[in-house]
Each structure stands twice: as C-alpha cells, then as structure tokens.
C-alpha cells in the first residue's frame, strides 16, 4: 500500500465514520459526504497522474460535477428539512420510525 493510497483511504474512512457515528446535524452529515467525494477526487486524479493515462484525466472532473449536483440536492433537502421540522438536527427526523 503506497502512502498516497493510504492517505486517501484513511480520508474516505474518516468521512464515512463521521457520517455513520456523528449523528447530530444534517449539515455535518452533508459535509462528511462532501469530504468522502473529495478524497475520491484526489484518488482519481492521482491515479490518472501516476498511470500517465491522459484519457482518465476527465474522470475527476466528471466526479466533481456529479458531487456538486449531489451536494446541491443535499443543501436543498437541508432547507426543506429546516422548513418542515424547524431544525436541522437529525434527532428530530423521527416521524417515521417503527
């Protein structure tokens, strides 16, 4: 495992752990998702650089575009949650529990 591989893997896993275990605010969940996507961006761009695959240098751009769309959808849902539930705490999302 190269140092680059180790660093982006640990960044992704930290983001995932934050998303899974730090469940207080919706905004922090969205930030964790964005951190995961950025670690993937670094991984893809460094892969293209290291393999000297010119054709793959488009892939990080596509990833960034899609993750921006995803982040905007998440922020729209944040606004919608704040309007309907009055707060962005994940604890208040409890209307549908069994």
Partner 1 sequence: MNPYVLTILLSSLGLGTILTFASSHWLLAWMGLEINTLAIIPIMAQQSHPRAIEATTKYFLTQATAAAMILFASTTNAWLVGEWEIHQLSHPLATTTVMLALALKLGLAPVHFWLPEVLQGLELTTGLILSTWQKLAPFALMIQVAPTINSSLLIAMGLLSTLVGGWGGLNQTQLRKILAYSSIAHLGWMVLILQYAPSLTLLSLFLYIIMTSSAFLTLKTNNSLTINTLATSWTKSPTLAALTALVLLSLGGLPPLSGFMPKWLILQELTKQGLPLSATLAAMTALLSLYFYLRLCYAMTLTIYPNTLTATAPWRLNFTLITLPLSIITILALGLLPLTPAVTTLLTL
Binding site for partner 1 (CB under 8 A): 2, 5, 9, 12, 16, 19, 26, 29, 33, 36-37, 40, 43-44, 47, 51, 59, 62-63, 66, 69-70, 73-74, 77, 80-81, 83-85, 93, 95-98
89 vs 25: CA distance, rounded Å: 5
Shortest distance (Å) from residue 54 CB to partner 1 = 15
Smallest CA-to-CA distance from 4 within 42, 34, 61 is with: 42
Residue 24 or 66: the one with the smaller Cβ distance to partner 1 is 66
43 vs 40: CA distance, rounded Å: 5
Shortest distance (Å) from residue 18 CB to partner 1 = 11
Contact call for residues 40 and 15 (beta carbons, < 8 A) = no
Shortest distance (Å) from residue 59 CB to partner 1 = 6
Contact call for residues 12 and 39 (beta carbons, < 8 A) = yes
What are the structure tokens assigned to 89, written together? Answer: 């705490």
Residue 24 or 73: the one with the smaller Cβ distance to partner 1 is 73
């Amino acid at each position: 495992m190269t140092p680059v591989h180790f660093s982006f893997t640990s960044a992704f896993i930290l983001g995932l752990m934050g998303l899974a275990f730090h469940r207080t605010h919706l905004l922090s969940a969205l930030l964790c998702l964005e951190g995961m996507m950025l670690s993937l961006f670094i991984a893809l761009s460094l892969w293209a650089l290291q393999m000297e695959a010119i054709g793959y240098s488009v892939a990080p751009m596509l990833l960034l575009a899609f993750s921006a769309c995803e982040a905007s959808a998440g922020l729209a849902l944040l606004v919608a949650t704040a309007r309907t539930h009055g707060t962005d705490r994940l604890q208040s999302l409890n209307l549908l529990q069994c």
